[in-house]
A and B are shown apart, each in its own frame.
Chain A
Amino acid sequence: MPAETNGHIATGTPRIKRGLAEMLKGGVIMDVVTPDQAEIAQEAGAVAVMALERVPADIRRDGGVARMSDPALIKAIIGAVSIPVMAKCRIGHFVEGQILQALGVDYIDESEVLTPADEEHHVDKWPFTVPFVCGARDLGEALRRISEGAAMIRTKGEAGTGNVVEAVRHMRAVSQGIRRLQGLRDDELPSAAKALGASLELVRETARLGRLPVVNFSAGGLATPADAALMMQLGCDGNFVGSGIFKSGDPKRRAKAIVAATTYFDKPEMLAEISTDLGEPMVGIEISTIPREELLAARGI
């Protein structure tokens, strides 16, 4: 990229798209379905909100095809808060992506929580000015999404369950994949790249950094401050919390507590205090009771 003279600017560069995710680190991004909820999330200290019509727990309950939210709702939520607003498009549905960009959202989540629009291709995210976040279950998925232009990665977890077990599995899988790369000789990386289905350049960069080249959040099933701290101790950069806040007994208090636990994730005495007297958490679902075809994490690999 040539150096530019003072006054000339470049928008939508990879550094600018990844840069906003860097600013979200150590923070909590909360699912909201109304402008009121968005304000509660902002007041509680969320670093961003995810605007959607139904939280994953309701999408799971209702069944049917889940699509991008109504632009009217997204605009109302953008108007209600001054923190960044994200919104979801279906996997591979680049026109929903174009519409969300036109609406002025700050980040797009190309999300397996919605019904995929393309079973083979994800959105080509490079041409967009707005950055994208994508879910991943392991290192190969994460690097393939980054190759397609994702500026941020999150675990898939199993959204809408209130059960953190899948997010833990995915976070550990990504971290183990990276540690394995770091143990390889340079001349062994091409074979590793082939096995991961990822580009050699990205594999080399990941091995050198010892982390993904973009910010990596956790998502999918977090319901308590302890869940948020667990994911941080496992090495993620921040947390998405979906149904876990507004499906709980006292959303305001729980939202504040999850924000605090994400910052003080490694201080058990503080976590004990933070976790006290929060009311009922959302009711969780045991993953093994979910029919295989209803699991969201297997979408878009």
Chain B
Amino acid sequence: MAIPTSTSGAAVHAAGIPSPSAPSDPVGVLALQGDVREHLAILNGLGVDARPVRTAGELAVCAALVIPGGESTTMARLIEAFDLEAPLRRAIAGGLACLTTCAGTILLARVIEDGLPGQLAFGVLDLTVRRNAYGGQQASFEAALDVPAVGSEPVRVAFIRAPTIESVGPTVEVLACHDRRPVAVRQGRHLALTFHPEITGDPRLHALFLRGLEARPGAGAPTG
């Protein structure tokens, strides 16, 4: 399998998989801080109207939201300082589906271990996550990950100062494990990852998320 570079890879992979019917409403990428550009590139490669979101007004028009990788404590500070917590909670309670990678997964978790005192946790995903559980940057790694929900070909992904998922609630479906720990999970229409498919450019997990949007909120998501 050719290893694509971050932005050009989306189109290469997209040609090989069934194209999801792109949602007609825009998909937002929370753009307070982090690897926003890479998520926008993958979504655009999948034919989605993808937009950066930094304000409640920009959030209001989105059908779904990607919360990218970055520094979870920085994003939390900005969400608090610019009064985005309530609009995000309302939108998610109203059915906004989220795809989260790394820091995004930490933000939406129910319990954060090794976070800052009082670090904002939305409690949307019934997960306990541990920040920086693999160690510092020198322990960051690439891996080829089996994710049966997106096909038999392993997904090449990057774990960058990644968190681990220490435990999952009963409504959480584990889609992939690494080192015997869950690294990709689905809860309703939310898809949460501890790694970065957007850095390696494989669009299949984004495509899986988009296909899940076609399901009615609350109905079981298709298994891909």
A residues touching B (Cβ–Cβ < 8 Å)? 1, 3-13, 15-16, 19-20, 22-27, 42-48, 78, 82-85, 101, 104-107, 129-131, 209, 256, 259-260, 262-264
Let me know if B145 and A47 touch, CB within 8 A: no
On chain A, the residues within 8 Å of B196 by CB distance are 19
Does B36 make an interface contact (CB < 8 A)? yes
On chain B, the residues within 8 Å of A44 by CB distance are 77
Known interface pairs A3-B1, A42-B73; A10-B142 also in contact (CB < 8 Å): yes
Q: Name the distance in Å between B183's Cβ and chain A's nearest Cβ.
A: 11
Query: Which of B36, B132, B137, B178 sits near A20, CB closer than 8 Å?
Result: B137
Q: Nearest CB to that of B71 among chain A residues? A: A47
Complex CA–CA separation, A18 to B135 (angstroms)? 17
The B133-153 residues at the A interface (CB cut-off 8 A) are: 135-146
Query: Which of B71, B116, B143 sits near A43, CB closer than 8 Å?
Result: B116
The B14-41 residues at the A interface (CB cut-off 8 A) are: 31-38
Complex CA–CA separation, A260 to B80 (angstroms)? 11
Let me know if A6 and B144 touch, CB within 8 A: yes
Interface SS majority for chain B:
loop
Complex CA–CA separation, A217 to B114 (angstroms)? 28
Could you jot down 20 A-B contacts, CB within 8 Å?
A3-B144, A6-B144, A6-B146, A11-B138, A15-B199, A16-B158, A16-B160, A19-B196, A20-B160, A22-B69, A24-B70, A43-B116, A45-B81, A47-B33, A47-B70, A82-B116, A83-B71, A101-B138, A256-B81, A263-B78
On chain B, the residues within 8 Å of A105 by CB distance are 136
On chain B, the residues within 8 Å of A23 by CB distance are 34-35, 69-71, 102-103, 160-161
Let me know if A8 and B81 touch, CB within 8 A: no
Q: Nearest CB to that of B102 among chain A residues? A: A23
Q: Nearest CB to that of B31 among chain A residues? A: A26
Does B156 make an interface contact (CB < 8 A)? yes
Let me know if B143 and A9 touch, CB within 8 A: yes
Let me know if B73 and A83 touch, CB within 8 A: yes
Q: Which 10 A-B pairs have the closest CB atoms?
A: A45-B77, A106-B137, A9-B141, A26-B33, A47-B71, A22-B35, A45-B74, A11-B141, A10-B142, A27-B33
Q: Nearest CB to that of A4 among chain B residues? A: B144
Query: Which of A4, A19, A131 sits near B199, CB closer than 8 Å?
Result: A19
Most buried by B among A12, A19, A47, A260: A19
Q: Name the distance in Å between B104's Cβ and chain A's nearest Cβ.
A: 11
Query: Which of B3, B35, B81, B116 sits near A1, CB closer than 8 Å?
Result: B3
Interface size of B in residues (CB-CB distance below 8 Å): 51
Q: Nearest CB to that of B117 among chain A residues? A: A43
Query: Which of A27, A85, A131, A264 sits near B71, CB closer than 8 Å?
Result: A27
On chain A, the residues within 8 Å of B136 by CB distance are 78, 84-85, 104-106
Query: Which of A1, A27, A78, A131 sits near B74, CB closer than 8 Å?
Result: A27
Q: Nearest CB to that of A47 among chain B residues? A: B71
Let me know if B82 and A6 touch, CB within 8 A: no
The B183-208 residues at the A interface (CB cut-off 8 A) are: 196, 199-200
Q: Name the distance in Å between B16's Cβ and chain A's nearest Cβ.
A: 15
List 7 other contacts, CB 8 Å, given A4-B144, A16-B142, A106-B137.
A15-B199, A19-B140, A23-B35, A23-B161, A26-B31, A256-B77, A263-B32
Q: Nearest CB to that of A22 among chain B residues? A: B35
Does B211 make an interface contact (CB < 8 A)? no
Complex CA–CA separation, A6 to B145 (angstroms)? 5
Known interface pairs A20-B140, A26-B34; A45-B73 also in contact (CB < 8 Å): yes
Query: Which of B36, B114, B156 sits near A26, CB closer than 8 Å?
Result: B36
Let me know if B138 and A7 touch, CB within 8 A: no
Complex CA–CA separation, A131 to B137 (angstroms)? 8
Known interface pairs A3-B144, A27-B33, A47-B70; A22-B199 also in contact (CB < 8 Å): yes
The B84-133 residues at the A interface (CB cut-off 8 A) are: 102-103, 114-116, 131-132
Does B54 make an interface contact (CB < 8 A)? yes
Let me know if B34 and A25 touch, CB within 8 A: yes
Q: Name the distance in Å between B83's Cβ and chain A's nearest Cβ.
A: 12
On chain B, the residues within 8 Å of A264 by CB distance are 54, 82
On chain A, the residues within 8 Å of B7 by CB distance are 209
Complex CA–CA separation, A20 to B103 (angstroms)? 12
Does B154 make an interface contact (CB < 8 A)? yes
Query: Which of A11, A83, A260 sits near B139, CB closer than 8 Å?
Result: A11
Complex CA–CA separation, A8 to B145 (angstroms)? 9
Q: Nearest CB to that of A16 among chain B residues? A: B140
Q: Nearest CB to that of A102 among chain B residues? A: B138
On chain A, the residues within 8 Å of B160 by CB distance are 16, 19-20, 23
Complex CA–CA separation, A83 to B116 (angstroms)? 10
Q: Nearest CB to that of A39 among chain B residues? A: B116
